[in-house]
Structure 1
Amino acid sequence: MKILGIKKTRTTALHPQSNGMVERHNITICHYLSKFVSENQRDWDKLVPLFLLSYRSSQHESTTYTPSMLTSGREMKLPTDLILGHPLEENQERYLPEFVENLRERLNRIHRFASEKLKMHSDKMKQRLDTTSTAIAFKPGDAVWLYAPKKTKGKSPKLQSNWEGPYTIIKKINDLVYRIQLSPRSKPKVVHLERQFFTNN
């Protein structure tokens, strides 16, 4: 992954906001499938290729490009293109080396522009989050209750206690993530701030 420039990150449990891009993509998939799946919902897997065709050929608001353009430097050929015909790019077949060089330059230009758009979009989302978030901070040694909803067969989730603890703050990893421990012999947990609303002061 290092050779490809991929940086692996970890997310905290029960906090989908920390993996927002993936969660948003999953929501998009479910939204699409829910519109076309049959009543018994057993054919959802057969609809995934159609979703991918639609998704990869649709312009994204954050980048202003389609995923197909970002990965291959050209738009996808859709069923309508096969029926009505799709014009070849100028001199594509006769001047292949020149076409490859132009494609490389086009991809670099598209990626730079898309990266700038993504950063602008990310900064806007962060600014919006900062204006709505409430400043809460714990320090090592503080005792907290951890939000940990349970699903027990035969019991109503609404009537169960969803809090565990008290846990002890072991380390502040950053402004939003803490390492906590239930007892000296228990395994520490890394959790998001939003799962630690209650203290037992």
Structure 2
Amino acid sequence: MSSTTAQDVAEAYEEQVFRRFGASSMNRHNQDPRFMSEVFTRFRELLVSKQRATLAYRPQANGQQERSVQTVIRSVKAYIAEADQSDWDEHAERLMFALNTSFDATRLDTPFCLVHRWDAQGTASAMLGPKPSSLPERTAYEWRRKFQRDYSYALACAEDLQRKARRARSEEQTRKWQELSERLKAGFATGDAVWLYIPKAQPGLSRELAHLWYGPFRIEEIQDDL
């Protein structure tokens, strides 16, 4: 956030990182002035930590993190219900848990497992519980294990359907984009449905979370450019 100070960054690091995982041997940042300020420098010296800034000519150093940030912003933007954006923080924590437990194709593991060295327990695993020993419990366990198999099968089917849907959506978007490109060459006509782009957000609202496209509207009249 633009209003975050170096003191806020140092306090957030102490509360969210140091208390949970201990002192970092090295802090790598994107040359943000808040990470290179005197406050954060003194705090880093107390922890005996080194710091390294990423280089401007190596964008891949920040690319993956920036991609994650954009994913969170788009997800929060999609789930915001209040007009004043006051409920965005109610969705941020759930979205972060979803990202941290999602498989990372670059690291070949989930971020949660890379940090804690064990996988986060989902709702189905929590319901199954430990393996029982007595016969009645073993029968119940077999039922729960069958439920787990069905759950895994349903999850695999859902992933397969998502892949097919993404592929079909990509092909459909490509087709529509080609048709739109041909239409734009000829210009808009009366009766066409269009969206209006307004790059300015309402005062007091965050532009990143605001909806900038409005519509669709129907063109009733076309006037010559003056």
TM tier, shorter chain?
0.3 to 0.5
Structure 1-normalised TM-score? 0.35
Structure 2-normalised TM-score? 0.32
**Greater strand share, structure number:** 1
